Structure 1
């Protein structure tokens, strides 16, 4: 795991806006039913198609607020648009994301999803 993931998640948790996101029962069930591999494929596809281009289509509005657990995770981890990525992760706008950057953003999304699933399992 990238050593910056945990400190980044902690920093995001201190944001009132980012901390308000959580997975619904339906999102949790989706993750459990589909499994990590499928959710990972979705995260990679969403980041690659919607965020990686230098000038993403509808930047700032390309990530729905709900409808898929990855969308919720993207808002919680500030990986929802290039503006948030620039502000929170220091990756400037106006250039295509590098494969390593895509991988790190996906890893951050998956770490947040895993934390949500773990919290849910501990509550049961």
Structure 2
């Protein structure tokens, strides 16, 4: 599996993948929780939603917003097992290994860091939650 820096040029060529951006709610989530918490949450999301060998709702299990991980999953081709196969060569029909889960989480965090850094500062917005 490639790092975000290695796959970013290929993702940028995809009109669909390159259109994803972190919204205000996701940026506030990052600012309030911090990257260590977001990373732990990404690992758990990947383990639970993509980790099993058979996923009953594969292709529809990743929401489009609500957590930085979800946006990053769509942006990096890590949203379903079909996209993991197409973009990262991880075959369907078998459980993800711990190493694969760690690599996917690192890829997502790379995307999140790159896109959060370019977003600038957020005003205090307690009314979002």
Q: Same fold (TM over 0.5)?
A: yes
Offset of 1:57 from its aligned partner?
A: 3.0
- TM-score, length basis structure 1: 0.92
- Find the counterpart in structure 2 of residue 43 from structure 1: 42
- Find the counterpart in structure 2 of residue 60 from structure 1: 59
Distance 1:35 1:53 in 2: 28
Larger Rg: 2
Distance 2:2 2:61 in 1: 28
Cα separation, partners in 2 of 1:3 and 1:93, compared to 1, 3 Å: closer
- Find the counterpart in structure 1 of residue 71 from structure 2: 72
Offset of 1:100 from its aligned partner?
A: 0.9
Of 52-61 and 2-11, the range deviating more from structure 2 = 2-11
- Find the counterpart in structure 2 of residue 116 from structure 1: 115
- Find the counterpart in structure 1 of residue 80 from structure 2: 81
- Find the counterpart in structure 1 of residue 4 from structure 2: 5
Offset of 1:3 from its aligned partner?
A: 6.3
- Find the counterpart in structure 1 of residue 28 from structure 2: 29
Distance 2:51 2:2 in 1: 22
- TM-score, length basis structure 2: 0.88
The answer to whether the Cα contact below 8 Å between 2:4 and 2:108 also exists between their aligned partners in 1 is no
Q: Which has the higher helix share?
A: 1
Q: 1:66-93 CA distances to partner (integer Å, 9 max, x unpaired)?
A: 1111101100011100000000000010
After the TM superposition, list the runs of 4 or more consecutive aligned residues in structure 1 that deviate by more than 4 angstroms. none
Aligned partner of residue 54 in structure 1, secondary structure: coil
Aligned partner of residue 93 in structure 2, secondary structure: coil
Structure 1: unaligned runs, 5 residues or longer? none
